[in-house]
A and B are shown apart, each in its own frame.
Chain A
Amino acid sequence: MSPSGQRLALPFSHQLLNSQTPGSSMSEAFIELRSIGKQFLGLRALDDVSLTINKGEIHCLAGENGSGKSTLIKIISGVYQPTEGEIIIEGEKVENLSPIESVNRAIQVIYQDFSLFGNLTVAENLALNTELRAKTKLVNWRRVRKLAHEALERLGVDIDLDAEVESLPTSSKQLVAIARALMSDAKLIIMDEPTTALTGKEVETLFRIVRDIQSRGIAILFVSHKMREMLDISERLTVIRNGAKVAEGPTSEFDEASVIRHMTGLDIQIEPFRRARPDASEMPRLKVQGLCLAGDYQDIDMTLHSGEIVGLSGLLGSGRTELALSLFGMLPPESGTVEVDGKPIALQSVQDAIAEGIAYVPEDRLSEGLFMTQSIKRNIIATSLETLAKGGIIDIQRVDRVADETIASMQIATPSAEKQVGELSGGNAQRVVLGRWLLTDAKVLILNGPTVGVDVGSKAEIHKKIRELVDNHGLAVLMISDDVLELAQNCSRVILMHRGRFVDELEGDAIIEDVISDQLKSFT
């Protein structure tokens, strides 16, 4: 397999050729942005960006975090006013596009957080917009349920109308958000990073629905930084970098390598990271035997050796996160043994696990990994505070030194350790979380989705860092990921988990993106 991202057989490419835009609206523009510029307090976020989205077209907007994608979306949805350029919707020039005007012009945005009301039911969420617009004081619940039911039926999905949205899995929340957008007779639906929290199978369902929506003549602007998805789903592609448009054209003219090149301005070559299978006689760093937790996972046997990265994948609900939490002491297992460097350990609390050298980088960096309003320094030292203090009093000089060293060795781009972590980009923020564990005597590092929400350039950098950690500190890494490319590039073994059990293990040449995806797809 070519490391520079040779285009592999795509599950939907045959459909892509067949997908027809209905009627005569084939190349009629729904919205045209002409030479849009946007300045924030002297900071140029967008410069001379033109974008045309045709009726019934799936258009992809690609760019790294901070490239100006979100600003552009907010201009289309009327949240921001452009400082230069003009917006033409259905042939009519629109001045001062406001959020309400944008909705009235049939533009709907589905943001990453879906903007749903978690404490309301599915039916209530779906009906809220239409009911509010109806301007009646009383809610006709029978009508509400009927509308909601119809909307979900149109998508061909089955979601309990009375379930609280909060209790739904992410993929269902997203479907509710899509259904809501459809109910308002949208002509353009903008999806901001819609696949971030989805597993491979859920992405397929989403794509089926997106194509179905398109077949009704609704245009879709798909905003993403995931290469394969963009190439899979879209008909036309626009790439922006540093607030300027760098490429545009039919998707068929692009491949992964060229999109990456446009997005980052660099040629990124990634050599797969392979390690020979460790000598069986060597003491494993982590040895798990017969670990069970009823309802989550059963009979888990696993050994990790120093210097290897082992992948773990499986669909949502496969028990992989629960297993990781158990190894980190947050979810004590019911039976089985865990040994670190040959020594059996008790895993009753997070402090136990850390003391035994187990480190965990959580799935959701924002809500579980970082203290957003605190300084980089405090985020780095959070776990090792006790060791940096004597009798409860912190050794300030040592903390400063340690923080600066970590910033340097993790190559975190910041002018100062006092800067708030919330101001860092996704890639830099993730390095802070990783760097935290350098200060502990970590032996086993569990990474749950190490590069979720990190852009292409930084992703390669983080992979490089992880490899360095493995080489220099003799760590054993368990990498949990949905990103098959990531697993293929970094792991010397990949374990597949399904319904709480390890069902397969791929090794050596068998670790190819498509083999992993096919395996995952076979689980139902």
Chain B
Amino acid sequence: MKFSLDFRNMVNRDNNILQLIMMTVLIFIIMTALSPDKFLRYYNFESITYLFPELGLLSIAMMIAMLTGGIDLSVVGIANLSGILSGVLFHYLTRDLGMEQSVPMVMLGVCLSLGVGLVAGAINGFLITKLNIIPILATLGTGQVFIGLCLVLTGGPAIVGFPDAWAFLGNGKLFGIAVPFLLFLLVAGMVAFLLTRTTLGVNLMLIGSNPRAAVFAGLKKSRMILYSYMLSGVLASMAGIILSGRTNAAKSDYGTSYLLQAVLISVLGGTNPAGGKGTVAGVSIAVVALMLLSSGFQILRFSNHLIDFIWGAFLLLVIAINAWKNRAR
């Protein structure tokens, strides 16, 4: 009862979510119709639950930067740097430990990764709020720096040989459900709570909607924006943990195609790039929709390049529809 009421409120307030759900269902129906026996297999959906958390986390990180009218183009750099630094850490500590023995070390690695995200995000926030560099330039620059650091640390090739417990974070199963998916649900729930029920979240929405009025209302604008980039950095480093855990490797140019996809998904999910509006639910549904779309096309044996093309075209189409709808209003 309570839930259904909440849900109805959510849909009413933001019919973007309703539109996204309809779109996702539509994709599901079309793909099922085109290839019922292959698309509906359990394996297909299971593989989606492994693949989408990385992109989902990066998209949420992007959304958070967009809430204040900014953008974080360093998310993939942060993700890779987190994975690589942990890889380097594991390299120096003893390797080839079994599952049980590697847990403390992996916990250390997770802390290191999240710390990297926090510090990297703080650097972004510092450049943006203290030096007044516009977000797109600041994060483009730091993104390059992070990727440069990755190259220096690895010399180019991928770092391999992560401990088992680390791989479990990206590859494992708990109660028959993909661990990265569970992690994603946990983090997404926490971020959703943070954005709607805490002072930080409401501050970010207000600042994004009118930065000048925020100052006149006595909001701590710079500090809140700094926090938002730190949060964005931490989420990116989580994506880095899952990515390196799933592939059991970390490399400076992994997931570079995710960057612009995260921007588009964030907007597709109803985030206003000018600031002040965005939901975790919207972004999450948008990622699921795109994942269904690409897995469907993969089953239909479209080439990977063509799938990229279709993604782009699809994103443009939805954004164009939104723009048209807003204009008509």
Instruction: Give min CB distance, A211 to chain B, whole Å.
Output: 37
Is A369 in contact with B199, judged by CB distance below 8 angstroms?
no
Within 8 Å CB of A386, what residues of B? Answer: 199
**Those of A147-167 within 8 Å (CB) of chain B:** none
Instruction: Give min CB distance, B254 to chain A, whole Å.
Output: 34
Picked from A372, A382, A392, the residue with its CB within 8 Å of the CB of B217 is A382
B198-222 vs A, Cβ < 8 Å mask (1 yes, 0 no) = 1110110110011011111111100
Within 8 Å CB of B13, what residues of A? Answer: 418
B276 contacts partner chain A, Cβ-Cβ < 8 Å = yes
Is A378 in contact with B206, judged by CB distance below 8 angstroms?
yes
Q: What's the Cα separation between A374 and B209 when bound, in Å?
A: 7
Picked from B203, B210, B214, B217, the residue with its CB within 8 Å of the CB of A436 is B217
A300 contacts partner chain B, Cβ-Cβ < 8 Å = no
A366-393 vs B, Cβ < 8 Å mask (1 yes, 0 no) = 0111111110001001110110010011
Picked from B214, B216, B276, the residue with its CB within 8 Å of the CB of A373 is B276
Is B209 in contact with A392, judged by CB distance below 8 angstroms?
no
Picked from B202, B215, B277, the residue with its CB within 8 Å of the CB of A350 is B215
Instruction: Give min CB distance, B226 to chain A, whole Å.
Output: 15
Picked from A351, A360, A374, A389, the residue with its CB within 8 Å of the CB of B205 is A374
Picked from B198, B213, B215, the residue with its CB within 8 Å of the CB of A393 is B198
Asked, given contacts A374-B209, A418-B13, whether A362 binds B216 with beta carbons under 8 Å apart, the answer is yes
A280 contacts partner chain B, Cβ-Cβ < 8 Å = no
Within 8 Å CB of A385, what residues of B? Answer: 199, 202-203, 219
Q: What's the Cα separation between A19 and B134 when bound, in Å?
A: 55
* Count, chain A residues at interface, CB 8 A: 28
Q: What's the Cα separation between A265 and B289 when bound, in Å?
A: 55
B197 contacts partner chain A, Cβ-Cβ < 8 Å = yes
Is B209 in contact with A373, judged by CB distance below 8 angstroms?
yes
**For residue A360, which residue of chain B has the nearest CB?**
B216
Is B199 in contact with A394, judged by CB distance below 8 angstroms?
yes
Picked from B198, B209, B215, the residue with its CB within 8 Å of the CB of A394 is B198
Picked from B205, B218, B220, B272, the residue with its CB within 8 Å of the CB of A378 is B205
Which range holds the interface residue count of chain B? Answer: 20 to 34
A396 contacts partner chain B, Cβ-Cβ < 8 Å = yes
A354 contacts partner chain B, Cβ-Cβ < 8 Å = yes
Picked from B198, B206, B220, the residue with its CB within 8 Å of the CB of A374 is B206
Is A367 in contact with B212, judged by CB distance below 8 angstroms?
yes
A330 contacts partner chain B, Cβ-Cβ < 8 Å = yes
Is A351 in contact with B218, judged by CB distance below 8 angstroms?
yes
Instruction: Give min CB distance, A72 to chain B, whole Å.
Output: 22
B214-239 vs A, Cβ < 8 Å mask (1 yes, 0 no) = 11111110000000000000000000
Within 8 Å CB of B203, what residues of A? Answer: 385
**Those of A222-261 within 8 Å (CB) of chain B:** none
Q: What's the Cα separation between A382 and B199 when bound, in Å?
A: 9
Picked from A374, A383, A392, the residue with its CB within 8 Å of the CB of B218 is A383
**For residue A329, which residue of chain B has the nearest CB?**
B218
Q: What's the Cα separation between A432 and B209 when bound, in Å?
A: 16
Q: What's the Cα separation between A369 and B212 when bound, in Å?
A: 8
Picked from B197, B206, B213, the residue with its CB within 8 Å of the CB of A369 is B213
Instruction: Give min CB distance, A365 to chain B, whole Å.
Output: 9
Is A389 in contact with B198, judged by CB distance below 8 angstroms?
yes
Is B220 in contact with A351, judged by CB distance below 8 angstroms?
yes
Is A367 in contact with B213, judged by CB distance below 8 angstroms?
yes
Within 8 Å CB of B218, what residues of A? Answer: 350-351, 353-354, 383
Q: What's the Cα separation between A370 and B218 when bound, in Å?
A: 12
**For residue B274, which residue of chain A has the nearest CB?**
A373
B114-145 vs A, Cβ < 8 Å mask (1 yes, 0 no) = 00000000000000000000000000000000
Within 8 Å CB of A330, what residues of B? Answer: 215-216
**Those of B13-51 within 8 Å (CB) of chain A:** 13
**For residue B215, which residue of chain A has the nearest CB?**
A350
Within 8 Å CB of B219, what residues of A? Answer: 382-383, 385
Q: What's the Cα separation between A330 and B215 when bound, in Å?
A: 9
Within 8 Å CB of B220, what residues of A? Answer: 351
Beyond the given A369-B213, A385-B202, could you list 6 further A-B residue pairs with CB under 8 A, ordered by the A residue number? A371-B206, A371-B209, A371-B213, A373-B209, A382-B214, A386-B199
- 6 closest Cβ pairs, A-B complex: A371-B209, A382-B217, A354-B218, A350-B218, A373-B209, A385-B199
A sample of 18 inter-chain contacts (CB < 8 A) reads A350-B216, A351-B218, A362-B216, A367-B213, A371-B206, A371-B209, A371-B214, A373-B209, A373-B272, A373-B277, A382-B219, A385-B203, A389-B199, A392-B198, A392-B199, A393-B198, A394-B202, A436-B217
